[in-house]
Amino acid sequence: MTLLYASTFTKALDRLTTAEQKQVKITAFDLAQDESGNGLSLHRVEATPGFWTARVSQDIRIVLHKDGGHMLLAWVGHHDEAYRWAERRKLVPHERTGAMQLVEIVERTEERLVSAETLYDQAAPEPVAFHRPFANLSDDDLLNVGVPRDWLDAVRAADEASVDGLFDALPDEAAEALLDFATGGKLQDHVAVQASPGTDPFAHPDAQRRFRAVDGVEELKAALDAPFAQWAVFLHPAQRAPVTRAWNGPARVSGSAGTGKTIVALHRAVHLARRPEARVLLTTFSKPLAASLASKAALMTEALPDARARLTVRAIDQAAHDLYTKLFGQPSLAIAAQVRSAIQAAMEAGLGSGHSAPFLYEEWDELVDAWGLHDAQAYAAVPRIGRRTRLGPKQREAAWAVFAFVRDRLAARGVVTIADVYGRLARWAMDGGRLPFTHVVVDEAQDLSVAQARFLAAVGRVDSADALFFTGDLGQRIFHLPFSWAKLGLDVRGRAQLLKVCYRTSHQIRRAADRLLTPEIVDQDGIEESRRGTVSVFDGPDPTVALFDDTALEAQAVADWLRARLEEGVAASELVVLVRGQQQFDRGRAAVKAAAADVPVMTMHAAKGLEFRAVAVMALDEDVLPDPERLSDIGDMADLEAIQDAERHLLYVAATRARDHLMLSGVAPGCEFLDDVMA
């Protein structure tokens, strides 16, 4: 008999107390060791065939479903709730797709589906026309996207007021398809895979997003102990496909914030690490994010010790530094202050006529160092994508005199930049150097630098065709100027996939955040990432946008908002206050102090890649965002648009750290971007 557990079980388990969870896990492990249930207190649920309950304690029951070949842990909760849950459901394969579904029984659910007709005041002077968005869909239309036959009439009868309850009751694949259709999408884009006759219904891609088979007690223990979101285990079919596919070159998975790109990266890394010959590097741009990935990877490989031994998780700069040290000795890295000092010394020596120090530093950081330029000819030929300031020959010659001075000064002091580190590693790999890993999986790849991309391209050339796998979102690019991946050797054209289902962020927050960006973002290789058609799998309250006369009033309002979230049961660790930079930290701390809560205060940059149930973004004043320091450093007014775009992306990143609740606040008249959020 195969033991499985359902996403509904893990969600219900998470709602119990720590002591209750411990008892449930002990009982679940007993079931894993004795799948017949002999010796356990099992009781049949008479109202629904196949369902049983297993006694955990005097009040807690696990809901099971047993047939000849499978035993499923379906739900867990208090005694009466457990029986009510089981009595409202049946476990059946869908007649059209073949995917196993936990289906709510319609006649036992109708009281939860609010109808607009029940809300209509019969005394109103004018008749009201009720819009039923699915009324004209045929049986085939609905069956093809996974709607159970019992629900066909209820779906067609649903009006706008009842769709939220309807989506909660339907299997995920059906709810997502109907939500997309109701918001302007095409139902044909969601036609489900139809299984071959005789195929195990639990093996269908749609079934695997809600059911997972476990091989023994150790794998069950690893799964149930995992503290991160349950969708890390239950993959959507669109997520599973790129994880297991045999790619014939570098591949990239993109999507809006919250669509599960990081989870895809994790699963891809573990999938590759199962190969006996593999040595996998899972990497991202920062040490905190790498630490988060490492903890999740450790949980996913707890029952896979061989795969765990073949998987390394490091921040990409850390991995490069370690490799460089092993090959060439530990590098002495230049810091920004050394570069600025060298630029100032060059200007004092009469070099760089016609250019400001801020412009020259940006030019060094974003072009000269980033592209590894070492002579005037290379500087003249480099593409100036994102650098809107045009330079004539004499201006370029004057600038290069400064950069040559900087390079000589750094060399004399025996220091190198991180771009130099990547450049030497790339040349070593291209000359036949063997890397300590066969595959590299990169999360948050939209923030790769030119030097990092060149190094990874060298890795891809010397190893297997599927050596490189990337996940990211162009809408969250905030660290580097755009460049052509293909021209550097990372050609993902034809191997780029876009995720459209948002799991982390409510529909209301995602919709508001998306207004900050254009509906389509196209990279330098012509690959388009569209936010149209993206759907969130849950609803929540609309974001709060509030402007105040002074910072004290703002701090008090944010404190009240934080206390309200805490009173609703949100833990302090699940809350965060975000600000643009260090200069605004005092405003965030004032709100947290007034709330008398241990809520972290972070910069928007530091929060990148993280997630929280509730987020307050403070100090969104007109003289804070866009950052006035960045605006004052503009070398040419033509660069204004680039900075505006970067600051928009930063606010998008901040807003999409929120899962359920979002507050945006500032001092009136407020940041110009708030007009778009409120549109």
What pLDDT is stored for residue 212 in this prediction? 84
- Indicate the DSSP class of residue 219: H
Look up residue 366 and give its two tokens: 């974003």
The per-residue pLDDT for 525 is 63
* In contact, 298 and 621? CB cutoff 8 Å: no
As a whole number of angstroms, the distance between CA 122 and CA 554 comes to: 43
DSSP string, 183-213: TT--GGGGPPPPPPTT--GGGSHHHHTTEEE
In this structure, are residues 281 and 440 in contact, taking their beta carbons and an 8 Å threshold?
yes
CATH of domain 541-677: 3.40.50.300
Segment (H or E) for 615:
strand 612-617
Domain 2-95+200-223 CATH assignment equals 3.30.2310.20: yes
Q: What is the CA radius of gyration of the chain?
A: 28
Pick from 213, 271, 278: nearest CA to 242: 271
Q: Please state whether beta strands 280-284 and 311-315 pair in parallel, antiparallel, or not at all (unpaired).
A: parallel
- Token pair of 285, please? 């741009």
Distance from C-alpha of 385 to C-alpha of 366, rounded to nearest angstrom: 10
Mean pLDDT for each consecutive 10-residue tract of the chain (679 residues)? 85 85 83 63 88 91 88 92 92 93 75 45 50 90 93 86 75 85 81 85 87 73 56 66 90 86 92 94 91 87 88 95 95 94 94 89 89 89 69 87 95 94 93 90 90 90 84 73 82 87 83 83 71 74 93 96 93 93 93 94 88 94 80 56 78 91 95 84
CB burial string 24-57: b at 16+ within 10 A, e below: bbebbbebbeeeebeebebeebeebebbbbbebe
Q: How far is residue 32's CA from residue 43's CA, in Å, rounded to a whole number?
A: 18
648's tokens: 């928009």
Residues 6 or more apart from 32 whose CB is under 8 A from it? 3, 214, 216, 217, 220
Q: How many whole angstroms separate alpha carbon 671 and alpha carbon 619? A: 9
3-state secondary structure of 616: strand
Residue type, 350: G
Cβ atoms of 248 and 465 within 8 Å: the answer is yes
Instruction: Give the DSSP letter string of 379-416.
Output: HHHS--TT------HHHHHHHHHHHHHHHHHHHHTT-B
pLDDT given for residue 393 in this prediction = 84
| Residues 265-324: tens digit of each pLDDT | 999 999 999 999 999 999 998 888 899 899 888 878 877 889 999 999 999 999 999 999
Amino acid (one-letter) located at 657: R
End-to-end CA distance of the chain: 55
Beta bridge partners of 665: 546
Length of the chain: 679
pLDDT of residue 37: 52
Q: Is 274 exposed, middle or buried (0-12, 13-18, 19+ CB in 10 A)?
A: middle
pLDDT of residue 38: 52
Give domain 229-328+437-517's CATH number out of 3.40.190.80, 3.40.50.10190, 3.40.50.620, 3.40.50.300: 3.40.50.300
Q: How crowded is residue 428: how many other Cβ atoms within 10 Å of its Cβ?
A: 18
Question: The tokens of 372 are what?
Answer: 């590894």
Q: Which amino acid is at 420?
A: D
In the three-class reduction of DSSP (H, G, I as helix; E, B as strand; rest coil), residue 69 is classed as coil
What's the rounded Cα separation, in Å, for the pair 412 and 342? 12
Q: What is the DSSP code string of 472-511?
A: E-GGG--SS----TGGGT---TTSEEEE-EESSS-HHHHH
Instruction: Give pLDDT, residue 463.
Output: 66
> Which residues have C-beta within 8 Å of that of residue 409, sequence separation ≥ 6?
342, 345
- Contact between 195 and 143 under an 8 Å Cβ cutoff? The reply is no
CB atoms within 10 A of CB 378: 13
Tell how far CA 150 is from the center of its chain.
Answer: 35
Q: Give the Cα separation of 73 and 475 in Å (integer).
A: 39
Nearest alpha carbon to residue 565 among 663, 665, 495, 678: 663
DSSP secondary structure letter of residue 674: H
**Cα–Cα distance measured from residue 476 to residue 243, given in angstroms and rounded to the nearest whole number:** 22
pLDDT value of residue 108: 55
662: nearest Cα among 549, 589, 575, 586:
575
Q: What single-letter DSSP state applies at residue 534?
A: -
Strand order in the sheet with 60-66: 42-44, 51-55, 60-66, 70-78, 2-6, 211-214
The CA-atom distances, in angstroms, between 116 and each of 130, 304, 649 are 7, 52, 39
Predicted pLDDT at 145:
92
